[in-house]
C-alpha cells in the first residue's frame, strides 16, 4: 500500500502517531511534513504524491471540513477512483463532523477513541493484535533500533528533542517532599541536550 495522508495541519497530533504506526507495518506513507523540504513546490509535491498513491487516507474533522486543501485532495483522489477502481479512499473519522455526502458510502475507520494501534491494524488489514505485535517486533529487529525502557516514561529509541540514540539517555529518579508526603519522580534525561521527562509516583 502506498498511502497519501490528506489532513488539516491542526490535526497533526492525531495524524503523526497513526502515520508512524503504518510505516512500521510496511505501508509506504506520504506525509507532507516528512516529504516536503524547503524549496519544494508544495502544490507540485502534493500533485505528484496524489498521482502515485494507491490509497488516500482522508483524516476528517471540523478542521478538515473547513480546509480547501483537504477538500481538493479528497476530490482529486475520488476523481482518480472513478477511472481506476484499484485506487482506495479510506476516511479516518477524528470527531463528530459529518463526512461529505460523496464519502459517506465508503467504509471509514474511526479514530475518535484515539486507539492508534487498532486504527493502523484496520487500515493495513491486520486482524489480530498478536500479528500487529509480531510485525512491530519485526520492524524493530530489521531496523537495528534499540529501544530502552525507562520507568515513568516507557520505551524510548532516542531523545525526542535532539535525536540522540538511546545510549545517551539515562534514568532519572528523584524524591520530592510535598506537605508531609514524599513522591518520587521517575523518567529519563538526555546527556547530550539535557532534555528530560517522566512521571511522579
Query: Which CATH number characterizes residue 90's domain?
Result: 3.40.50.10140
Flag whether pLDDT at 144 surpasses 80.
no
pLDDT at position 184: 86
Question: What's the rounded Cα separation, in Å, for the pair 112 and 198?
Answer: 26
Are residue 107 and residue 154 in the same domain, yes or no?
A: no
Residues 101 and 51 occupy one common structural domain: yes
Do residues 67 and 83 touch, judged by C-beta distance below 8 A?
no
pTM: 0.76
90, pLDDT greater than 90: yes
Number of independent structural domains in the chain: 2
**Over the range 52-73, which residues count as b (16 or more CB within 10 Å of their CB) and which as e?**
ebebbbbbbbebbeebebbeeb
Residue-range definition of the domain harbouring residue 130? 2-143
Q: What is the C-alpha to C-alpha distance for residues 86 and 89, in angstroms, rounded to an integer?
A: 10
Cα 39 to Cα 36, 83, 84, 112, distances in angstroms: 8, 33, 32, 35
Same domain, 88 and 156: no
The pLDDT value given to residue 75: 94
Residue 145 has pLDDT above 80, yes or no: no
- Of 136, 117, 123, the closest CA to residue 91 belongs to 123
> Per-residue pLDDT tens for 156-165?
989 989 989 8
CB 185 within 8 A of CB 152: yes
Q: Is the dihedral of CA 117, 118, 123, 124 positive or negative?
A: positive
Where is average pLDDT lowest: 3-7, 117-121, 144-148? 144-148
Listed in sequence order, the residues at least 6 apart from 112 whose beta carbon sits closer than 8 Å to its beta carbon are 93, 94, 95, 96
pLDDT tens readout for residues 57-87:
999 999 999 999 999 999 999 999 999 989 9
Amino acid at each position: 500500500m502506498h498511502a497519501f495522508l490528506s489532513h488539516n495541519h491542526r490535526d497533526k497530533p492525531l495524524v503523526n502517531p497513526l502515520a508512524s504506526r503504518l510505516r512500521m507495518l510496511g505501508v509506504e506513507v506520504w506525509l507532507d511534513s516528512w516529504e516536503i523540504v524547503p524549496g519544494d513546490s508544495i502544490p507540485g509535491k502534493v500533485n505528484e504524491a496524489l498521482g502515485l498513491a494507491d490509497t488516500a487516507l482522508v483524516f476528517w474533522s471540523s478542521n478538515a471540513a473547513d480546509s480547501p486543501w483537504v477538500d481538493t485532495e479528497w476530490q482529486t483522489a475520488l476523481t482518480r477512483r472513478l477511472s481506476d477502481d484499484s485506487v482506495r479512499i479510506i476516511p479516518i473519522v477524528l470527531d463528530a463532523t459529518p463526512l461529505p455526502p460523496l464519502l459517506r458510502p465508503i467504509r471509514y475507520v474511526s479514530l475518535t477513541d484515539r486507539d492508534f494501534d487498532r486504527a493502523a491494524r484496520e487500515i493495513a488489514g491486520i486482524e489480530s493484535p498478536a500479528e500487529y505485535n509480531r510485525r512491530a517486533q519485526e520492524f524493530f529487529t530489521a531496523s537495528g533500533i534499540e529501544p530502552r525502557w525507562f520507568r515513568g516514561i516507557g520505551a524510548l529509541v532516542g531523545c525526542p528533542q535532539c535525536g540522540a540514540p538511546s545510549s545517551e539517555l539515562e534514568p532519572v529518579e528523584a524524591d520530592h517532599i510535598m506537605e508531609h508526603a514524599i513522591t518520587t519522580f521517575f523518567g529519563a534525561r538526555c546527556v547530550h541536550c539535557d532534555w528530560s521527562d517522566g512521571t511522579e509516583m
